[in-house]
Amino acid sequence: MSLRVLVVYDIGDNTIREEFARKLQQLGLERIQRSCFLGRGGLDLVKTVARVAERLIDVKKDVVHVFPLDEYSFKYAKCVGRPTNLVEIEGVTYVRSGL
């Protein structure tokens, strides 16, 4: 089964947030918005991202959501609005953030 992994986070400390984003990129995820990454992977990647988050964030103030998406969920996902900075991942257009 082909899965994608969607990671959405709210991390208050700039240094920790930037380090977490770098770790996600090292794991092969691509930024689709400021605090949102998407990539191919399975349940092992979900667990790895969760472990990285547990080591870095302050769990009393910050939050990281890690969603495994099956083929059906990914295929029928919708993007509403007109992003200005685009990246295409597997035929779906997302915002690429250099922000």
Bridge partners of 88?
A: 93
* pTM, full prediction: 0.82
- How many domains are contained in the chain? 1
- Predicted pLDDT at 90: 62
Q: Identify the CATH number of the domain in which residue 87 sits.
A: 3.30.70.240
Over the range 38-52, which residues count as b (16 or more CB within 10 Å of their CB) and which as e?
A: bbebeeebbeebeeb
Query: Structure tokens of 81?
Result: 């609005």
Residue 81 is classified by DSSP as: S
By the 8 A CB rule, do 58 and 17 touch? Answer: no
The rounded percent of the chain whose pLDDT value lies above 90 is 66
pLDDT at 82 over 90: no
Is residue 18 within a helix (H) or strand (E), and if so which, with residue range? helix 14-26
